[in-house]
């Protein structure tokens, strides 16, 4: 074998069944990513003799005698970037960046014909973050990033600091490092939806050459925990063991095999002999709640924090304000139906996984693809009785999260193996495992009944919500509670009632997912209100506008009032106005094909700018000897762009340019604590800590400068590299040296506890055309209004909105984790689970509201989860408008739409 | 992905006794896309040196099993035959992108025998015939419509090799019409219907794939009426032969098949142009 990779020759023989992707990565070419390992996502695209191929499908031995180019070799040797790399930087055609190498290598191979047909050219490349508009901009040479200017960072579209690394394939994600002596773990998973493990014989597995250990429930701690990560662990039920003697869903881990190679670990898994006593399983949550149904967790309710274990109810909420039944009796119009949302997968391009080792000081170090390094450390310490200072958890750049990584799904078992073997161990999920061995969005059934008076006053809203949380409770109760919060509070109705249940079934667990339950319930509520307005002969948008809460009104839910939640800025009226303008522009958007039905629809959404119960962030800003700054934050970067925003906030306070600020992050060593990058807190909570740290540092530096110069502090101000004062400039380098000489450290801390909180608003509007003969839906125009407060970085915030709309369109139109009659996931690959492709996503016009929040840092509000939430109901409302048929079940695939519209098929 | 149970790559040019756990390796785009724990040896066809596509003296077109989709697409662009546009249409019906075309082979797509396999659609519609080589050296020929017998099922014995598919000159001279439906834009085919009108005798072949568990080729000596076409489809496809998988409800597939077949009948009604 002799293969030339980026001009370097490699002579090592590949293994017979090895693909080129792993051959390249084993030689250190980490720019070649594993998104799916099945040829579907394109993240591993390389050029072989100039032809673009998916290296995960390319037999490595066939590269013999050929020249391979990876993203690391795309740029010419003169140190300049390849034009395609330059354009992806200028447009910021990425968010998490995990798919970017594949897009770069594909784009670089497009000829004129293919450039003219990008939807087809990008059939083999998936991006989960951007919604593709930014990628189109990159291909077309549009520049979106702005030049940094001293002290003027906030509100500008400054580029992500990691951009140059992302486009050159040198950004380091979880597995992009070489760990000497690394062992590999593979998991044996349950073939049954419910079974007791009677016996496990590991002898044959241990005889496989290269196998070091086989871990079973005998090796696991007895104690139960929750894989969900929250600041307060007691929010989540303790129902999970590292390895259990009962399996509760097909795909649950049964044993872990650790070996010198993945091949040996896989062989070990095949040799583990498990004797199961198969038990009856229940897959449907309504059935699970009935008396006599198989019990998923026969546990003590109080100890495990399960509401009613015998009824499979892990959490429930009941409440009423006013008297809904009386209101229904008095109403002029009542509408009632039942909506259903399906399971969806986060599908971050980087899979779950962790690599862990003991460092030279004997500390357990876990490098993981996580949104919550600090909480994961805490959980590991609790699980294995380790002191906090003996465990370090680090996230590299994370390749997408969407809530899926607010969970400890791998670190526990990897840590167990490292503690046992005292050797570095890695576990990297396959794409298939992401589907059956991780978590999903919660499938919901929502029975809604709403009533109004003829004058358009919404008088009553009643919900019965059943969320299927699967075999483990993790985020179940919290998602259920959140789902009926802002979705009900945003409307003023005097009478509200809720009965909500989070229910165990023997299916793959559901977990945190962008929107955290709100999107599911808003689909039902926003659909029902649309229908109610129609019954009254009112314009659905007007009806909503009349019944949403105003800026000074209380947010009332039947579950009770949240004391720390405030409307600290109000842009909902502006959101409605954006939709009205879109409605009025009848000529805008694509024309409808002849013979198709046309309709339009809107939906509103409100979301708290952080989770209840507090969300902690620490930050530390420091002046460095060279006069530049170091900013340490706990929050993780997974494409949400918070690193960019944190630099902007700090640069604004410190009067400098972002390039002079280096951010260290997502490492339990760099700050005291950070609850994590979830619940849309990266800017509003962690950013506030950064603001406070930077402001405190600025104060300190000005104090020091004033004292040293003997001038009033008010006459000093911070410049790019100096303190500016009436007599001239004091270089920060000198200030640092002077302070150091007298033992003063030029550093300051910032802290925010995540409370009080505000609310953000969104509205989505679609005009669609529907072909009744085929069921095809075409989006003619898409408009989104986002009340993000003061927008820190318009380019990035727009990207968040576009990405949220795109992801929501996937969940609205086709994404579906299907489970068969035996509880097995039937869609464990991207070719079976359709993600929105370039061709699927229309361009959305994004409008920001003119608001400034009184709580958020510099007036900012969150804008990560919320754009997702109004999309499905807006589309269903448009479809209703076009066809006259109310669709209450997602996804709206062509076959089902046709079936509902075809008179003969119904 | 890595196929970790594979212990040997054999060169397909040098015959050796076939063993359990052996598999022919064409482009690898299927084999390397899913775990194959039953495989021990891959018999590599990439060095066979077979000419990818060859037009015979009689005008027949012989497509080697190892011909890549990219090679076929390029060849068809220069193919001076009325049916030439159908080649590109079927190549584009792949769920996979042009990058996969650089590796995936015509033979591999046929041997996967998936209802949505667009090379099955192409070669079945153009009356293709497979040349199969047995381990004992025996050769046999099977029509494509008989080669793919069900979803994932084909008439291929253990160790037997699909060598090539031949499309008769007569079929290449047909005027063709193509319709494809998917649940998604540019997605995997849920329905794929091809019409081929013979300019010499005015006969019409309508071939159904993707919506049915196996390719169904309906031949009409004279262009049928709408009613006769519909009746023929109903007669040829049993109720349980409408494919039921995640890529479309059988009822929708059936509906779309009738719709497209009729559209194709009308499109080709004008006769040879």
A231-287 per-position pLDDT tens digit: 999 999 999 999 999 999 999 999 999 999 999 999 999 999 999 999 999 999 999
Average pLDDT over residues A450-469: 98
DSSP A691-722: HHHHHHHHHHHHHHHHHHHTS-GGG-EE-SSE
Q: Residue A462: CB partners within 8 Å, gap ≥ 6?
A: A324, A328, A448, A449, A450, A496, A497, A498
Average pLDDT over residues A125-153: 94
Residue A867's Cα: distance from chain center in Å? 12
Q: How far is CA A597 from CA A562, A585, B70, in A?
A: 44, 18, 39
Closest-approach residue (CA) in chain B for A109: B99
Classified as helix, coil or strand, A368 is strand
Q: Which residues does chain A have within 8 Å of residue B248's beta carbon, measured at their own beta carbons?
A: 894-895
Q: What is B174-270's CATH number, 3.60.15.10, 3.30.390.50, 3.40.50.150, 3.90.230.10? A: 3.30.390.50
Percentage of chain A surpassing pLDDT 90? Answer: 97
HSE-CB at A89 with a 13 A cutoff on CA atoms is 17
List the CATH number of the domain containing A223: 3.90.1170.50
Do A431 and A446 lie in one domain? The reply is no
| Residues A498/A448, Cβ–Cβ less than 8 Å | no
Percentage of chain B surpassing pLDDT 90? Answer: 97
Q: Residue B86: CB partners within 8 Å, gap ≥ 6?
A: B122, B125, B126, B176, B178, B194, B196
List the CATH number of the domain containing A822: 3.30.365.10
Do A701 and A658 lie in one domain? The reply is yes
Q: d(Cα A329, Cα A300) in Å, to the nearest integer?
A: 42
What pLDDT, on the 0 to 100 scale, is given for residue A903?
A: 77
**Phi, psi values for residue A900, rounded to 5°:** -70, -25
What pLDDT, on the 0 to 100 scale, is given for residue A584?
A: 97
Q: Element (H or E) spanning A354, and its range? A: strand A353-358
Model pLDDT for residues B155-180, shown as the tens digit of each residue: 999 999 999 999 999 999 999 999 99
Model pLDDT for residues B84-101, shown as the tens digit of each residue: 999 999 999 999 999 999
Classified as helix, coil or strand, A733 is helix
Average pLDDT over residues A480-490: 97
Is this complex's ipTM strictly greater than 0.95? yes
Cβ pair B185:A18 closer than 8 A: no
Mutation target vs A (from B99, B189, B210; most A CBs, 10 A cutoff):
B99
Tell me which CATH code domain B53-170 carries. 3.30.465.10
What pLDDT, on the 0 to 100 scale, is given for residue B273?
A: 44
Which of these, B71, B60, B109, lies nearest to B210 by C-alpha position? B109
> Is A399 part of a structural domain of the chain?
no
Closest-approach residue (CA) in chain A for B93: A120
List the CATH number of the domain containing A34: 1.10.150.120
Q: Could you give the maximum distance between any two Cα atoms of chain B, in Å?
A: 58
| Token pair 């970067």: residue | A637
What pLDDT, on the 0 to 100 scale, is given for residue A559?
A: 83
Cβ pair B9:A58 closer than 8 A: no
Which of these, A677, A670, A663, lies nearest to A635 by C-alpha position? A677
Q: d(Cα A372, Cα A475) in Å, to the nearest integer?
A: 14
What pLDDT, on the 0 to 100 scale, is given for residue A148?
A: 76
Q: Which residues does chain B have within 8 Å of residue A890's beta carbon, measured at their own beta carbons?
A: none
Do A739 and A836 lie in one domain? The reply is no
Q: What is the layout of strands, in order, in the sheet containing A495-504? A: A313-321, A495-504, A458-470, A444-452, A333-340
What pLDDT, on the 0 to 100 scale, is given for residue A259?
A: 98
Angle in degrees, CA B26, B30, B36, rounded to 5: 100
The neighbour count for residue A307, using CB atoms within 10 Å, is 19
> Is A306 part of a structural domain of the chain?
no
Q: Count of A–B CB contacts within 8 Å?
A: 153
Which of these, A627, A179, A782, lies nearest to A423 by C-alpha position? A179
What pLDDT, on the 0 to 100 scale, is given for residue A561?
A: 80
| Residues A576/A605, Cβ–Cβ less than 8 Å | no
Say whether pLDDT at B271 is over 70: no
Which of these, A864, A863, A857, A889, lies nearest to A876 by C-alpha position? A889
What pLDDT, on the 0 to 100 scale, is given for residue B269?
A: 87
Do A98 and A207 lie in one domain? The reply is no
What pLDDT, on the 0 to 100 scale, is given for residue A22?
A: 98
Do A736 and A826 lie in one domain? The reply is no
Do A117 and A199 lie in one domain? The reply is no
Which of these, A359, A406, A354, A394, lies nearest to A187 by C-alpha position? A354
> Is A202 part of a structural domain of the chain?
yes
Provide the number of structural domains found in chain A: 4
| Residues A678/A686, Cβ–Cβ less than 8 Å | no
Of A54, A106, A899, the CB nearest to B251: A899
| Residues A521/A465, Cβ–Cβ less than 8 Å | yes
Which of these, A63, A94, A414, A89, lies nearest to A256 by C-alpha position? A414
Do A721 and A671 lie in one domain? The reply is yes
HSE-CB at A415 with a 13 A cutoff on CA atoms is 29
DSSP chain B: ---TT--EEEETTS-----TTEEEESS-TTGGGS--TT--EEEE-TTS---SEEE-TTS-EEEETT-BHHHHHHHHHT--STTHHHHHHHHHTSSS-HHHHTT-BHHHHHHHT-TT-HHHHHHHHTT-EEEEE-TTS-EEEEEHHHHEEETTEES--TT-EEEEEEE-HHHHTSEEEEEEE-SSTT---SEEEEEEE-TTT--EEEEEESSBSS-EEEEESSPPPHHHHHHHHHHHS-GGGB--BTTB-HHHHHHHHHHHHHHHHHHHHT---
Do A368 and A513 lie in one domain? The reply is no
Q: d(Cα A507, Cα A443) in Å, to the nearest integer?
A: 11
For the four alpha carbons of A478, A479, A482 and A484, in that order, the dihedral sign comes to negative
| Token pair 């629809």: residue | A601
3-state secondary structure A740-766: HHCCCCCEEEEEECCCCECEEEEEEEE
Model pLDDT for residues A595-622, shown as the tens digit of each residue: 999 999 999 999 999 999 889 999 999 9
Q: pLDDT category, B253, cuts 50, 70, 90?
A: very high
Of B6, B188, B255, the CB nearest to A898: B255
B152 CB-contact burial (10 Å; exposed 0-12 / middle 13-18 / buried 19+): exposed
Q: Which residues does chain B have within 8 Å of residue A121's beta carbon, measured at their own beta carbons?
A: 97-98
3-state secondary structure A260-297: CCHHHHHHHHHHCEEEEEECCCCCCHHHHHCCCCCCCC
Cβ pair A19:B188 closer than 8 A: no
Mutation target vs A (from B70, B95, B105, B185; most A CBs, 10 A cutoff):
B185
Of B5, B39, B102, the CB nearest to A53: B102
Do A453 and A387 lie in one domain? The reply is no
Q: d(Cα A347, Cα A810) in Å, to the nearest integer?
A: 11
More confident residue, A613 or A82: A82
Model pLDDT for residues B43-98, shown as the tens digit of each residue: 999 999 999 999 999 999 999 999 999 999 999 999 999 999 999 999 999 999 99
User: Helix A642-654 vs helix A686-709: angle between axes, to the nearest 10 degrees?
Assistant: 20
Cβ pair B4:A114 closer than 8 A: no
Chain A nearest C-alpha distance from B140 (Å): 30
What pLDDT, on the 0 to 100 scale, is given for residue B272?
A: 46
Q: Residue A96: CB partners within 8 Å, gap ≥ 6?
A: A128, A129, A348, A349, A350, A397, A398, A399, A400, A638, A639
Of B39, B99, B259, the CB nearest to A45: B99
End-to-end CA distance of chain B: 48
- Of A168, A201, A223, the domain-final residue: A168
Q: Is A215 left (phi over 0), alpha (psi -120 to 50) or beta?
A: beta
What tokens were used for B117?
């396999």
| Token pair 């507090």: residue | A614
Average pLDDT over residues A543-558: 96
3-state secondary structure A203-255: HHHHHCCCEEEEECCCCCCCCCECCECCCCHHHCCCCECCCCCEECCCCCEEE
Domain region containing A646: 617-752
Do A452 and A414 lie in one domain? The reply is no
What pLDDT, on the 0 to 100 scale, is given for residue B24?
A: 98
Cβ pair A57:B8 closer than 8 A: no
Do A420 and A503 lie in one domain? The reply is no
Q: d(Cα A615, Cα A592) in Å, to the nearest integer?
A: 47
**Phi, psi values for residue A864, rounded to 5°:** -115, -55
Say whether pLDDT at B187 is over 50: yes
Do A32 and A139 lie in one domain? The reply is yes
End-to-end CA distance of chain A: 62
Closest-approach residue (CA) in chain A for B252: A895
The DSSP bridge partners found for residue A661 are: A629
> Is A302 part of a structural domain of the chain?
no
**DSSP class of residue A4?**
E
Cβ pair B102:A899 closer than 8 A: no
Model pLDDT for residues A671-730, shown as the tens digit of each residue: 999 999 998 889 999 999 999 999 999 999 999 999 999 999 999 999 999 999 999 999
Length of chain B (residues): 273
Closest-approach residue (CA) in chain A for B183: A894
Q: Is A335 left (phi over 0), alpha (psi -120 to 50) or beta?
A: beta
User: Helix B69-77 vs helix B84-92: angle between axes, to the nearest 10 degrees?
Assistant: 150
DSSP A406-425: SB-SSHHHHHHHHHHH-S-E
> Is A480 part of a structural domain of the chain?
yes
Model pLDDT for residues B105-120, shown as the tens digit of each residue: 999 999 999 999 999 9
Q: Residue A139: CB partners within 8 Å, gap ≥ 6?
A: A87, A93, A107, A110, A115, A118
Model pLDDT for residues A115-132, shown as the tens digit of each residue: 999 999 999 999 999 999
Can the peptide bond before residue A756 be classed as cis, meaning omega within 30 degrees of 0? Answer: yes
Q: d(Cα A131, Cα A784) in Å, to the nearest integer?
A: 13
Closest-approach residue (CA) in chain A for B8: A16
Average pLDDT over residues A864-868: 97
Cβ pair A125:B97 closer than 8 A: yes
């Amino acid at each position: 074998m002799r293969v030339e990779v980026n001009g370097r020759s490699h002579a090592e023989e590949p293994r017979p069944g090895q693909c080129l992707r792993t051959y390249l990565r084993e030689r250190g070419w980490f720019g070649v990513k594993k998104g799916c390992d099945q040829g579907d996502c394109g993240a591993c695209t390389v050029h072989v003799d100039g032809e673009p191929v998916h290296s995960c499908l390319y037999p490595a031995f066939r590269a013999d005698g050929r020249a391979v180019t990876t993203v690391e070799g795309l740029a010419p040797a003169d140190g300049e970037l390849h034009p395609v790399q330059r354009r992806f930087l200028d447009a910021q055609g990425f968010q998490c960046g995990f798919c970017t190498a594949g897009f770069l290598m594909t784009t670089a191979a497009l000829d004129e014909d293919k450039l003219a047909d990008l939807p087809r050219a990008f059939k083999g490349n998936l991006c989960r973050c951007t919604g593709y508009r930014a990628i189109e901009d990159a291909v077309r040479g549009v520049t979106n990033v702005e030049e940094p200017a001293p002290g003027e960072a906030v509100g500008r579209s400054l580029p992500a600091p990691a951009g140059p690394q992302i486009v050159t394939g040198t950004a380091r994600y979880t597995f992009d490092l070489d760990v000497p002596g690394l062992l590999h773990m593979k998991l044996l998973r349950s073939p049954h939806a419910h079974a007791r493990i009677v016996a496990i014989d590991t002898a044959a597995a241990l005889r496989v050459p290269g196998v070091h250990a086989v871990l079973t429930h005998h090796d696991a701690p007895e104690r139960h925990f929750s894989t969900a990560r929250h600041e307060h662990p007691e929010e989540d039920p303790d129902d999970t063991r590292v390895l259990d003697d009962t399996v509760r869903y097909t795909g649950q881990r049964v044993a872990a095999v650790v070996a010198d190679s993945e091949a040996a670990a896989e062989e070990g898994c095949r040799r583990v002999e498990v004797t199961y006593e198969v038990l009856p399983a229940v897959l449907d949550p309504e059935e699970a709640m009935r008396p006599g149904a198989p019990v998923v967790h026969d546990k003590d309710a109080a100890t495990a924090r399960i509401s009613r274990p015998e009824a499979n109810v892990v959490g429930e909420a009941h409440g009423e304000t006013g008297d809904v039944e009386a209101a229904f009796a008095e109403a002029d119009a009542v509408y009632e139906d039942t909506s259903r949302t399906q399971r969806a997968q986060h599908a971050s391009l980087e899979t779950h996984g962790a690599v862990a080792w003991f460092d030279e000081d004997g500390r357990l170090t876990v490098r993981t693809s996580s949104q919550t390094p600090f909480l994961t450390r805490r959980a590991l310490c609790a699980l294995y009785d380790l002191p906090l200072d003996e465990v370090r958890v680090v996230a590299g750049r994370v390749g997408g999260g969407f809530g899926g990584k607010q969970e400890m799904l791998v670190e526990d078992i990897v840590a167990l193996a490292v503690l046992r073997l005292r050797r570095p161990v890695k576990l990297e999920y396959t794409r298939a495992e992401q589907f059956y061995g991780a978590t999903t969005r919660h499938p919901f059934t929502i029975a809604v009944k709403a009533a109004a008076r003829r004058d358009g006053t919404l008088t009553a809203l009643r919900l019965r919500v059943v969320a299927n949380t699967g075999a483990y409770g993790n985020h179940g109760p919290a998602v259920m509670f959140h789902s009926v919060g802002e979705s009900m509070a945003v409307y003023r109705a005097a009478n509200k009632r809720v009965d909500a249940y989070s229910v165990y079934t023997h299916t793959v667990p559901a977990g945190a997912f962008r929107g955290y339950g709100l999107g599911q319930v808003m689909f039902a509520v926003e659909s029902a209100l649309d229908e109610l307005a129609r019954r009254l002969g009112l314009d659905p948008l007007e009806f909503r506008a009349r019944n949403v809460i105003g800026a000074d009104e209380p947010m009332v839910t039947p579950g009770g009032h949240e004391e720390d939640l405030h409307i600290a800025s109000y842009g909902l009226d502006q959101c409605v106005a954006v939709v009205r303008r879109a409605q009025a522009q009848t000529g805008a958007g694509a024309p409808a094909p002849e013979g198709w039905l046309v309709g339009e629809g809107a939906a509103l959404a409100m979301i708290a700018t952080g989770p209840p119960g507090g969300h902690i962030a620490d930050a530390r800003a420091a002046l460095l000897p060279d006069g530049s700054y170091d900013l340490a934050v706990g929050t993780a970067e997974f494409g949400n762009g918070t690193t960019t925003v944190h630099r902007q906030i700090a640069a604004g306070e410190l009067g400098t340019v972002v390039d002079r600020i280096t951010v260290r992050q997502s490492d339990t060593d760099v700050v005291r604590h950070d609850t994590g990058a979830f619940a849309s807190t990266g800017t509003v909570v962690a950013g506030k800590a950064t603001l406070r740290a930077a402001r405190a540092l600025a104060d300190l530096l000005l104090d020091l400068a004033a004292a040293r110069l003997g001038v009033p502090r008010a006459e000093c101000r911070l410049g790019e590299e100096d303190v500016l004062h009436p007599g001239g400039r004091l270089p920060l380098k000198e200030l640092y040296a002077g302070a150091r000489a007298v033992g003063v450290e030029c550093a300051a801390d910032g802290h925010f506890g995540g409370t009080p909180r505000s609310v953000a608003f969104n509205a989505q509007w679609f005009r669609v055309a529907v072909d009744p003969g085929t069921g095809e839906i075409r989006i003619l125009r898409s408009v989104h209004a986002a009340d993000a407060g003061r927008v820190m970085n318009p380019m990035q915030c727009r990207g968040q909105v576009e990405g949220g709309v795109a992801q929501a369109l996937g969940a609205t139109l086709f994404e579906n984790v299907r489970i068969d009659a035996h509880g097995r996931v039937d869609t464990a690959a991207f070719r079976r689970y359709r993600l929105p492709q370039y061709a699927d996503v229309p361009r959305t016009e994004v409008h920001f509201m003119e608001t400034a929040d009184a709580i958020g840092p510099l007036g900012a509000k969150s804008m990560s989860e919320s754009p997702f939430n109004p999309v499905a109901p807006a589309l269903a409302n448009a479809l209703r408008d076009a066809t006259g048929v109310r669709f209450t079940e997602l996804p709206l695939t062509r076959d089902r739409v046709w079936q509902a519209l075809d008179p003969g098929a119904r | 992905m890595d196929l970790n149970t594979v212990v040997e790559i054999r060169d397909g040019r040098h015959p050796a006794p076939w063993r359990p756990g052996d598999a022919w390796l064409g482009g690898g785009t299927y084999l390397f896309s899913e775990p194959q724990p039953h495989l021990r040896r891959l018999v590599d066809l990439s060095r066979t040196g077979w000419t990818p596509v060859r037009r015979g003296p009689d005008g027949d077109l012989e497509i080697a099993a190892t011909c890549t989709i990219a090679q076929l697409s390029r060849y068809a662009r220069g193919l001076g035959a009325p049916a030439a546009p159908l080649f590109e249409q079927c190549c584009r019906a792949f769920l996979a992108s042009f990058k996969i075309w650089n590796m995936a082979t015509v033979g591999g797509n046929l041997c996967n025998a998936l209802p949505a396999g667009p090379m099955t659609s192409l070669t079945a519609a153009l009356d293709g015939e497979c040349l199969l080589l047995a381990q004992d050296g025996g050769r046999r020929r099977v029509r494509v419509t008989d080669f793919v017998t069900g979803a994932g099922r084909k008439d291929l014995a253990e160790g037997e090799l699909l060598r090539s598919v031949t499309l008769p000159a007569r079929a290449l001279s047909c005027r063709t019409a193509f319709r494809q439906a998917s649940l998604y834009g540019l997605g995997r085919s849920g329905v794929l219907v091809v019409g081929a009108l013979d300019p010499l005798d005015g006969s019409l072949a309508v071939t159904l794939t993707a919506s049915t568990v196996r390719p169904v080729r309906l031949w009409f000596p004279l262009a049928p009426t709408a009613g006769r076409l519909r009746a023929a489809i109903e007669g040829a496809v049993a109720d349980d032969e409408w494919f039921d998988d995640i890529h479309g409800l059988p009822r929708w597939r059936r509906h779309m098949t009738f719709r497209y077949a009729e559209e194709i009948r009308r499109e080709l009604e004008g006769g040879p142009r």
